[in-house]
Structure 1
Amino acid sequence: MIKRIILLCLFLQIVTVKAQTQVTSLTTEGLTNPLGIDNLQPHFSWQLIAKQRNTMQLAYEIKVAESETGFNKDLLWSTGKVISDQSIHIPYGGKPLEAGKRYYWQVRIWDNKGKLTTWSNVAYWQMGLLKENDWQAQWISPGYAEENDRPSPLLRKEFKINKKVKSATAYITAHGLYEAQINGKKIGDKYFTPGWTSYKKRLQYQVYDVSDMFINGNNAIGVMLGSGWYRGYFSLGNFKDIYGSDISLLFQLNITYTDGSTETINSDGSWKSSTGAVRSSNIYAGEVIDARLEKIGWATPEFNDKDWSGVKVQSFPKNILIGTYNESVTRHEKFIPKKIFTTPKGDQIIDFGQNLVGWVTLKVKGEVGQKITVSHAEVLDKDGNFYTENLRIAKAQDIYILKGGKQETFEPHFTWHGFRYVKLEGFSGELKPEDFEACALYSNMEKTGSFTTSNELINQLQHNIEWGLKGNFLDVPTDCPQRDERLGWTGDAQVFFRTASFLRGVNNFFVKWMKDLAADQFPDGSVTHVVPNVLADFERGSSGWGDAATIIPWNMYLAYGDKRILETQYQSMKNWVNYIQSQSKNNLWKQGRHFGDWLFYNVQDDLFGDSAITNKYLIAQCFYAHSVQLLINTAEVLGRNDDVKGYNLLLQEIKDAFLNEYTTANGATVSDTQTSYVLALHFDMLPEKLRQQAADRLAANIRRYDTHLTTGFLGTPYLCHVLSRFNYTDLAFELLLQKTYPSWLYPVTKDATTIWERWDGIKPDGSFENSDMNSFNHYAYGAIGDWMYRVVAGLDIEGDGIGYKKIRIHPHIGGDFNYVSADYKTPYGKLSSNWKINGNKLNLKTEIPPNTVAYINIPASSLEGITESGKNLSASKEIEIVEKKENSIVVKAGSGIYEFSIPYTMKK
């Protein structure tokens, strides 16, 4: 009996603990246990797990220690009990932090249920090298004379360890790209390091915990370098040596032994250099690997390097070195051949079934000197032949030369390709599926959002949006991953940002990129078309592209709630607005080179003429106003009151000039295009009294084109948002579900697995658009995702609830959907909206994360018949009814899972 009572008590204790609020998901600078932090006041965030509804944090306590077991001893920082519901972006405020040291922290909170949580699990972060003299290593370059094809250098160093290693940290960067090994094993899981930045001003280094990679006795470090973005053939025009002609390494290994002693192994004049199997490597051309020249065991101890050259010690700067916060490129999905076939032209082709970015790993057995060529393509032509004209001058070929004999495995090191199909040349024998594997590579950002519906074509569109992001978020947000471009176009990035921030945790990715935007911004404030900038000096200052300087920081603030992005980018934002002002006369921006509504549907017919062409200066004026508005918003957050006042006056003058120059008295725009109305309405360029009739004109224009869009890169992202805002949501659904060209679903009907650059990359007759600009992996038109997530599923920020502290859940029922589901991992935890039509009932299920509050729009005209979790809504004590509208009821709810059943009549 006593045993039963004890067991019952233990069970009840466990149940009670599980029912209580718990603290989880600790991050430092938005990362889990990061290494190499060089911010002296890193920010802490956490999430709560709570079974009870309406759980909020009332207070928190953070402790920071120098060891996992040091929380009961001397602390570096203890906040004590802080009365606050803030659980994200709390800055460290303790004793000064030291270079290279690891720190540990934990947190507990008090909730509004009167409970104090247990301490969280311990998290940690490790500081990077904080000052220039923390770097004891020297820059080194190969000591031999380089060949024209620039084979990848091999650099090595041997050293002895005769003590037990307690901890060891490697700090690595390069001019070019690097792959590092210790004792023949790869350091870390990252690729294309140190990543791409504005190299002359900002060069990242990476930090690795290598504590378990050593052996007693002789050890070896080996590093292979590739030309990469730094000096390889790159940019429009296929230039080389953009940042420099050298290829160099900076490597520092700090070892701490169990006896308390330390040792540092540095890149210096004692290293050796040679070349190996990688005979050439360029981003556009691909890689040539000659296995006959492989130096087996070159990165292991006891390798004979007596014939190797020395190295050159260089005096390159170290004061531009910065820690890496953005997630590096890593391996992801693997694909086996979907089909192996021979084309009408006789080529041997492998179809992997997905347009992806990465490379193919192949296994082959053949004769010594046999050459295998792997070519890459996104599509086949209408006759079923391998098509590469749209790659322009990018060869996109990997060449492998066999050493012969045993089976050999090949894959590139310092290049990547955008492809669905590969062509094999020089391959003897049958192509077997098990010998080929395609590997996707992209920046390792956390997946945060999902979206599914009852419509399979829309689900494929969502798939294509996600793969457009994966293929083009490779250290920078590129426009395309396959041809001789792959540049960080600012216009593409800003139109896609809100979609991207739903799908992936892109905060650190874009913080890094925005700092490069500011670094490459010209003294007059103009923003370059691509970031990092590798184009001519005149390639800058376009509306809709340069506005990335204002649009992305503000939307980052909304999505993640971190004010630092506004503080960091404020001067850049202001400089861009001031540049536009300097280019304007009478408050009109009517000069400069602008891309306009890039790649819009350009129709010329007898009835409408050039009716889809929108005046570029009208577009410029709209974005001018938008950037000023975002600058005002930012100045208000940062308390820059003088700027708020001054730019508010300027904004009114800009809008007045727009009305005088580009609209009639009745609200018609001079271009009378979908894009002109979309921008005028979305950016509030028109007074209230003219807006609805402008929206009516927009709807009429869409109808004139048989319910087709005609917008390009700048008009498309806002089109459906504007329609929904002005009571044309049904028309927005019609556009979304349109299957014929031009539409979002037209490429889906053509077997697309990514978003296309053009609405008609493949024409209805199977022919191609102009090969000079026809990428089949271009994410810009995937910006429709933002409307699907925020309007169709209905997940959005409410009012001033930045970072989803306050949430709006407002699903829109329409189209042919009977089911829509979306999940999003906010900074506070999981948020979801799931609606389904069941006969005469609409079921709405939603999950709201702890420490937030949500305003839920229920599509009903009265409370009658509405239940939540089987109980009448009007009787619920956990839900507050805050507003009754003509066709919706707004309720306020705290955290938890809610299931509403609502009387519903299908629209006819």
Structure 2
Amino acid sequence: MPASPVVRVRTPTVEHLRDGLGLGTPRPRLSWLIEGDSPNWRQESYEIELERDFSRSTSGQIRSDESVLVPWPFPPLGSREQVRARVRVWGHDETAPTEWSEPLQLETGLLHANDWSALMVSPRATTERLPVFRREFTVRDDLLQARLYVTALGVYEAEINGERVGDDVLAPEWTSYQHRLLYRTHDITTHLRDGPNAIGVMVADGWYRGRMGWTGRREVYGQDLGLLAQLELTYRDDSRETIATGADWSWGLGPVISSDLYDGEDYDARLLRDDWSIASDGPADWAPAEVLPFDHSVLAAPESPPVRRTETIQPVRVIRSPAGRVLLDFGQNLVGRVQLTVAGPAGHRIELRHAEVLEHGELGTRPLRSALARDVYTLRGGDTEHWEPRFTVHGFRYVEIGGWPSKDGVPPVGAVRAVVCHTDMAATGTFTCSDPLLQRLHDNVVWSMRGNFLGIPTDCPQRDERLGWTGDIAAFAPTAGFLYDCAGMLSSWLRDLAADQEPGGKVPIFVPWVDVWHPGRRDVQAEPLMAGWGDAATIVPWTLYQRFGDAGVLERQYSSAVAWTQALLSLDPRDPRSSSHQFGDWLDPTAPPDRPGDGATDPALVLAAYQVRSLDMIAAMANALDRTRDAVKFQQLAKDRRAVFAEFFASDGTAHRESQTSYALALVFDLLAPNQRRTAGDRLARLVLDSGHRIGTGFIGTPIICDALTSTGHLEAAYRLLQQTESPSWLHPVTLGATTVWERWDSMLPDGTINPGEMTSFNHYALGSIADWMHRTVAGLAPSAPGYREVLVAPKPGGTLSSAGATHRTPYGDVSVSWNLEGRLFTLCLKLPIGTTGWVALPDGSAERAVGSGIHVFTCLLEQPEQTREPVPAVQDQTER
């Protein structure tokens, strides 16, 4: 019978990965997209075919409409196993299946500790200059394929026969090393040649041995750098040869004089060993490597793409500072490093200093604290040289360049470029609107996410910190899940959260946990239970489930989430001792610069609110996992804790200690009785009005304040708050030229002076969490079932906007929403992919309606909108420009 002419299945994907090489699970989950021009088409069943060992087997026709992270229907895969999988589906009105999809190549990595014969090798050297490891080997002329499985205690770059292996940056990514060390699988078949070959690997301190945190601690995880590498050569006669790190490997000193994530890299090209990564008969001054004790059971395959170079940017202008220094402005605050193309005499030194802003015309380095953020390159001499640091990244927009070998010290056009580095997640979400300042704000949010998703979600990318603060990602996770496919990276990070969690359930304030105060300690007992921070244990997995439809992460993280919530319940918000060490609504603009936790909101109220919030999420998780008894138990606990929270409010819904965040928490977390909500909403709107529609929230209140206003009938107040340009506000930094989201509402003062507070970053995503409201409410695009299987389309126009829109690549395909307002005529355009249902609510209050896949257009007449404020001013050019 002929296949369906209008529907096709795209090549399936596996887990949250871009490709199927080096899988770390024997039962990988598959997903597929269905495309076609048949409106309202729905999958009714599917079949997966597996090609394995030159034979084919199928799952048979499975009656299910699931197409996202579908369970593996075959016997488990073994280590190194290579298979091909393809899919076809049947529709609800079809008697014939679609054509088979193109096949996906799957290959497992080394799934068991005993698959490894490689030993961890080290130079055991105390010199600051970094080591390179080397091994020569011979390849027969009947090679079929070759794989390299590699990781390090530190970060590494590998070359074979002088050619770079892979395109990873700072591999392996930072994990809780005592529990998990990531390795990657590389196909190196094309790197090899018949006869003599050589592999060389540079290793640097990275997070493992480098400086960590603001106290300057080093060697927090260990004193010795290490390399673990296993090359496996498979020949056409099915024989396999393994070249694995061990005592027969050598090491020598490389050209990297020093390298540190905070301080930068010092590279002397005169010291480059021409024979370090190629077969050579030259003089051998290499020393034998030493073998370190190592537990192979901690090795794990990655769950997301690696950190990569994702973009290069040219300077937009050259500045001569008041002190006569040469400054390059790249026009965008970014995270990465600088790439040089230069010629000059041997021994000539070029020094690069990085900063995010200028202060009175000079490089603004005070916010870096003790981080030097300085790279030095010493020329080899002769031909044109190309250089980029290997083992460091910086947060910067401006680079001071000293020693450029020209008369005026200014590099020519094209000689210096910025290389943007971050976890190479697929971009999935866009937002557009008619207000250029709001558009720039959203662009800034995207850039801040890019800069702070580097293996783990960090707080900032520039100063002597760069830690995986749990509170930041708890606030930002919904925004992140819209903008990028970050499910794999955050799922991996959650494994470390659970691994670093105390037996009693306490979650550290940052993950991976390192005691930067007391090196060598693994416990987190010195830290309090921090409400709003440790709740990342519940918020992040629930968000991943809602945004990506991954029930597996709920199952895996459930016990961690329960343990955290039970630990948090051990605190009594009514006891001052329980809230005395809470961060509260961190960086509320009313807090003094030197006391960022001392804001307007009672920390005890924050604690009480998050006790209920995590209980509600645990109950929802339990229901999603069919743990009915657990759900009932946690729902009752949540009811009890709501009664505790109620003590912070009067019976009419007025907070005893009023603040924007107090009301926002009560309203959005649904902590008040129905008769109290109206008063609380009106009081919140009054506080916002009395502030001149300026923001009064910190990390806790900022993600939810516009939701609180919207849900209680104060939409225009929310828009006026969002479009405010005077400080403190989201748009004030934009009017000052910000190109990323700031840590403080006033990180830069209007006179061009950097905020005097000890913590002042110009690239923090937490306050950018308002973008989630912009996606859901301004554009009107939100998930109403896990993974956007059902989509809520409910735009709420307001403020001075005449149009807005958003797109999102869901696990089922691309959704797009756009609206336009001309006079009173509101027009909404919606496009839904196959497999989804849209629930559309127009802003005139008409009844919600359901629509299927395809393109839909809706119109309605609105009341004449009230002009809320003057048109937005032009963007100025002060702090970052």
Distance 1:465 1:686, change over 3 A: same
1:345 is aligned to 2:346:
no
- Secondary structure at the aligned position of 2:30 is classed as strand
Match of 1:684 in 2: 670
Return the offset for 1:771: 4.8
The answer on whether the counterparts of 1:588 and 1:621 sit within 8 Å (CA) in structure 2 is: no
Task: Let me know the Cα RMSD of the aligned residues.
Answer: 1.8
2:187 to 209, 212, 215: 209
* Structure 2 counterpart of 1:456: 436
User: How far 1:839 sits from its partner (Å)?
Assistant: 4.5
Code of the residue aligned with 1:687 in structure 2: it is A
Task: Give CA-to-partner distance per residue, 1:129-162, whole Å, 9 cap, x none.
Answer: 111110011111126x431xx2121101111112
- Is the counterpart of residue 890 in structure 1 residue 848 in structure 2? yes
2:713 equivalent to 1:727: yes
Matched residue, 1:380: 358
Kindly state the Cα deviation for residue 247 of structure 1 after the two structures are TM-superposed: 0.5
Q: C-alpha separation between the residues in 1 aligned to 2:343 and 2:757?
A: 37
Matched, 1:395 2:372: yes
Matching residue of 1:140: 121
Partner of 2:865: 907
What whole-Å deviation, never above 9, does each CA across 1:202-259 have from its counterpart, x for those lacking one?
1111111112111111111110001000011122212111110010111011111123
Distance in 2, matches of 1:309 and 1:392, equals 39
CA distance in 2, matches of 1:378, 1:467: 13
1:693-723 residue CA offsets vs partner (Å, 9 max, x unmatched): 1010000000010111100010000001111
Q: Tell me how far apart the structure 2 counterparts of residues 453 and 718 of structure 1 sit (CA, whole Å).
A: 21
2:341 matched to 1:363? yes
The question of whether the paired residues in 2 share the 8 Å contact of 1:828 and 1:851 is answered with yes
Match for 1:766 among 747, 752, 761? 752
2:286 maps to amino acid = W
Q: Please say if 1:718 is aligned against 2:704.
A: yes
Helix, strand or coil for the counterpart of 2:569? helix
Please report how far the alpha carbon of residue 592 of structure 1 lies from its aligned counterpart in structure 2 after TM superposition: 5.5
User: What is the identity, as a one-letter code, of the residue corresponding to 1:492?
Assistant: D
1:269 to 228, 247, 264: 247
Match of 1:876 in 2: none
Q: 1:249 aligns with which of 227, 237, 240?
A: 227
The aligned residue for residue 556 of structure 1 is: 544
> 1:739·1:746 contact (CA, 8 Å) conserved in 2?
yes
On the 8 A contact 1:331/1:439 being kept in 2, the answer is yes
- Judge conservation of contact 1:580–1:589 (CA < 8 Å) in 2: no
- Equivalent residue in structure 1 for 2:453, among 468, 473, 488: 473
SS at match of 2:830: strand
Deviations 1:713-749 (A, max 9, x none): 1000000111111111111111111111011100000
Q: Kindly indicate whether the alpha-carbon contact (under 8 Å) linking 1:106 and 1:120 is maintained by their aligned counterparts in 2.
A: yes
Deviation for aligned residue 1:107 = 0.6
Question: Could you say which residue in structure 2 is the equivalent of 1:701?
Answer: 687
Q: Secondary structure at the match of 2:540?
A: helix
Distance across 1 between alignment mates of 2:32 and 2:80: 24
Alpha-carbon shift at residue 166 of structure 1 (Å): 1.5
Q: For residues 774 and 610 of structure 2, what CA distance do their matches in structure 1 show?
A: 24
Spell out, residue by residue over 1:100-138, the C-alpha distance to the aligned partner (whole angstroms, 9 max, x if none): 111110110001231420000000211111111100111
Cα 1:547–1:599 change in 2 (3 A) is same
Q: Check if 1:130 corresponds to 2:111.
A: yes
- 8 Å CA contact 1:392, 1:771 repeated in 2: no
Distance in 2, matches of 1:303 and 1:483, equals: 45
For 2:688 and 2:314, how far apart are their aligned partners in 1? 43
Q: Within 2, Cα distance between the matches of 1:291 and 1:495? A: 44
Counterpart CA distance in 1 for 2:433 and 2:281 is 58
Q: Is the 8 A contact 1:859 1:889 kept in 2?
A: no
Looking at structure 2, the residues matched to 631 and 254 of structure 1 have their Cα atoms a distance apart, in angstroms, of 45
Change (3 A) 1:685 1:256: same
Q: Distance in 2 between matches of 1:903 and 1:669?
A: 38
Does residue 1:510 correspond to 2:496, yes or no? Answer: no
Residues 611 and 199 of structure 1, relative CA distance in 2, 3 Å threshold: closer
User: How far apart, CA to CA, are the structure 2 residues paired with 1:848 and 1:495?
Assistant: 28
Structure 1 position 567 matched with structure 2 position 559: no
Q: For the Cα contact (< 8 Å) 1:540–1:546, is it kept in 2?
A: no
1:808 aligns to 2:792 (yes or no): yes
Conservation of the 8 A alpha-carbon contact between 1:611 and 1:672:
no
Quote the residue 2:871 is aligned against.
none
1:797 aligns with 2:800: no
User: In structure 2, do the counterparts of structure 1 residues 525 and 154 end up closer, same or farther at CA, with 3 Å as the change threshold?
Assistant: same
2:300 paired with 1:322? yes
Give yes or no for the alignment of 1:616 onto 2:603.
Answer: yes
Query: How big is each residue's C-alpha offset from its partner over 1:68-107, in whole Å with a ceiling of 9 and x where there is no partner?
Result: xx4xx442xx211111111111111312311011111011
- Residues 783 and 792 in structure 2, CA contact (< 8 A), matched pair in contact too: yes
Q: Deviations over 1:391-410 (max 9, x none)?
A: 00000000111222332222
Distance 2:576 2:508 in 1: 21
Structure 2 length normalisation: TM-score? 0.94
Q: Deviations over 1:415-462 (max 9, x none)?
A: 100000000122232421221000100000000000011111111111
Name the structure 2 match of 1:878: none
- Of 406, 422, 428, the residue aligned with 2:383 is 406
The alignment partner of 1:846 has SS state of strand
Q: Distance in 1 between matches of 2:678 and 2:145?
A: 66
Amino acid at match of 1:849: P
Matched position secondary structure for 1:772: coil
Residue-pair matches, total: 850
Structure 1 pair 317–740 and aligned structure 2 pair: CA distance change class (3 A): same
Q: Tell me which stretches of 4 or more aligned residues in structure 1 moved more than 6 Å.
A: 585-589
Identify the match of residue 534 of structure 2 among 546, 556, 559.
546
Q: TM-score, normalised on structure 1?
A: 0.91
Secondary structure of 2:287 counterpart: coil
1:603–1:508 Cα change, 3 Å: closer
**SS of match in other structure, 1:614:** coil
Q: Residue by residue, what CA displacement relative to the aligned partner does 1:348-405 show, whole Å, maximum 9, x if unpaired?
A: 1000100000000112222322221100010011x21111011000000001112223
Q: Deviations over 1:631-679 (max 9, x none)?
A: 111112222233223222221221111212x111221112210000000
In the alignment, structure 2 segments of 5+ residues that lack a partner are 518-523, 867-881
In the TM superposition, 1:254-333 aligns within 5 A as 254-302=232-280, 304=282, 306-333=284-311
Corresponding residue to 1:601 among 558, 567, 589: 589
The code of the aligned residue for 1:395 comes to L
Secondary structure at 1:91's aligned position in 2? coil
SS of the counterpart of 1:154?
strand
Go from structure 1 to structure 2 and tell me whether the alpha carbon gap of 1:852 and 1:481 turns closer, same or farther (over 3 Å shift). same
Structure 2: distance between partners of 1:771 and 1:233? 23
User: Does 2:856 correspond to 1:857?
Assistant: no
Question: Which piece of structure 1 moves more, 838-847 or 234-243?
Answer: 838-847
Query: Does 1:187 find its partner at 2:165?
Result: yes
Maintained 8 Å contact 1:550/1:573: yes
Name the structure 2 match of 1:656: 643
Partners in 2 of 1:481 and 1:299 — Cα distance?
32
Give the match's secondary structure for 2:189: coil
Provide the residue aligned with 1:121 in structure 2: 102
- Corresponding residue of 1:101: 81
After the TM superposition, which residues 571-590 of structure 1 pair with which residues of structure 2 at under 5 Å, given as runs? 571-584=559-572, 590=578
